[in-house]
Amino acid sequence: MITTADKQATTSLPPSNHEFAEVVHRLEAGGSMLPDNPENLKQIIGIYKAYAVPMDFYWRDLLYIAEHVFLNPLPAFKYFISEKYLNRPNAYAGDNADLRIWRGEADAHPELREFMAQGERKRKLPRLFHHLWHDRVNMEFAEACMLAMFWHEDINPTFNAYLETDEYRANSDRAIRAYFKGNPVMLGLYKLFPDMFLEQVRRLSYYANLGLFWEVMAPVFFEMSDLYDEGKMTTVPEAMDFLVNGIFAVAGRPIYHHVYIDGECYEIIPKSQGFTWLYEAALPYVEAVFYRTAPFRGTKSYNAQAGQVPADQKDFHYGILYADVFPVGSAGIPPTLLMQDMLHFLPDYLIELYQQHGRGEDDMLVQLGITFQRSMYNVTSAVIQALRTALLYPLDDSNLDHLRANRAFFEQQMDRFKRPEARLRDIQSQNYR
């Protein structure tokens, strides 16, 4: 098991001269970008739990859309997830798990079911009323994440190359014809505009991709929350190490896209393609969602001609690691949708913490947004340490050249946080709330 915190370099390098030398040294000692103190631990674990409950809806509904709603031209009910998908056993929880990460049950989380029944208004109404009142899980956030992965296509080359193959086209064609069987209007449109339909299927393949990614993360976060409540997770590096071990344990999980039409399974992306959770889902997700995304409409006017938006997509920096949580906190944009979702499932200890700071309950969305930012710096630290473990050398390696290679890798990662929008500086202090 990886326990980076226990490992200290026995052969030492001279101190780093990097702007974030303190963070580089902490990473070299097996730590996280987030300083290790009890309050940071409380904040990140509390928010992981609050994130995992809506995430339990996101992954189920993403797969429901990818596998069942499919090319419905009027998908008004795509967020009305079926009971079958609420009961669908998570592959990493419950007695029959492929690999049991969470000791809890495999079907939808009880807090999620309660929220779906009663909403914020605490009234049991038909689902349609909750939906029209927007008193529901903000699935639009999950779709925004999916679109970020879909749009930043350079970060997932192997997966995207398959989406352009004749094999993928043939698989999609079979499913499209089966789905619109007996519907001459849609089949006629397909004949006229085949590429438009194919592009929609590609998008749905990303629904499946993200759904399979988050199916893993929800039980990981639930288990971390339970371990913290039991007093078995006591430091920030322990929380990071749990994530590192989780990343490795499920790295080889297949990423695929199956569609079910009239009870028959159509394999758009078969498991036999060899796509994996780590390479085709987790790493692209982190790059697309934590770092890049895209400017959110309605929060600020950007003048592309004046260079306010980078010319290259790879230089986009609108993810949570760079977000100014306060002005971004406008209604309707993806980060606020998530904050609103997490607000419903905060543990009591986080609510008490927020009441002691800022404007108490009045600015809780902002406070929890900054907590979320801290927690995602810790997840990103886990990804950085996992990549270092997979591609480079142990932290206690006795070869100085290997330690230099680790140092260069950590410094290269920290270079991405030199730009003024990055929040790495801010999260070093507890005054940032």
Positions that interact with another protein (CB under 8 A): 1-2, 98-99, 244-245, 248-254, 271-276, 279, 283, 387, 390-393, 402
- The full DSSP string for 297-308 is TTT----GGGT-
Name the minimum Å distance from CB 375 to another protein: 21
Q: In angstroms, what is the minimal distance from the CB of 211 to another protein?
A: 17
Q: At which residue do the structure tokens 């990886």 appear?
A: 2
CB 103 within 8 A of CB 232: no
Cβ count within 10 A of residue 362: 10
Of the pair 118, 389, the CB lying nearest another protein is at 389
CB of 272 to another protein, least distance (A): 5
- For the CB of residue 154, give the shortest distance to another protein in the complex, in Å: 15
CB of 399 to another protein, least distance (A): 8
Residue 68: phi and psi, rounded to 5, are: -120, -50
The residue among 290, 285, 235, 314 whose CA lies nearest residue 423 is: 290
Q: How far apart are CA 317 and CA 159, in angstroms?
A: 23
Query: Helix, strand, or coil here: 142?
Result: helix
**Residue 141 or 285: which CB sits closer to another protein?**
285
Q: Is residue 102 classed as helix, strand or coil in its secondary structure?
A: strand
Q: Closer to another protein at the Cβ: 125 or 392?
A: 392
Residue 61 or 241 with smaller CB distance to another protein: 241
Q: Which is nearer to another protein, 279 or 296 (CB)?
A: 279
* Rounded Cα distance, 84 and 89, in Å: 10
Q: Which helix (H) or strand (E) holds 432?
A: none
Please state the closest distance from residue 275 (CB atom) to another protein, in A. 8
Residue 282's identity, in one-letter code, is: A
- Minimum CB separation from another protein for residue 100, in Å? 10
CA contacts within 13 A on the Cβ side of 158: 12
**Cβ-based nearer residue to another protein, 238 or 341:** 238
C-alpha to C-alpha distance for 206 and 313, rounded to whole angstroms: 19
Q: Which is nearer to another protein, 402 or 433 (CB)?
A: 402
Other beta carbons within 10 angstroms of residue 315's beta carbon come to 11
Query: DSSP class of residue 93?
Result: B
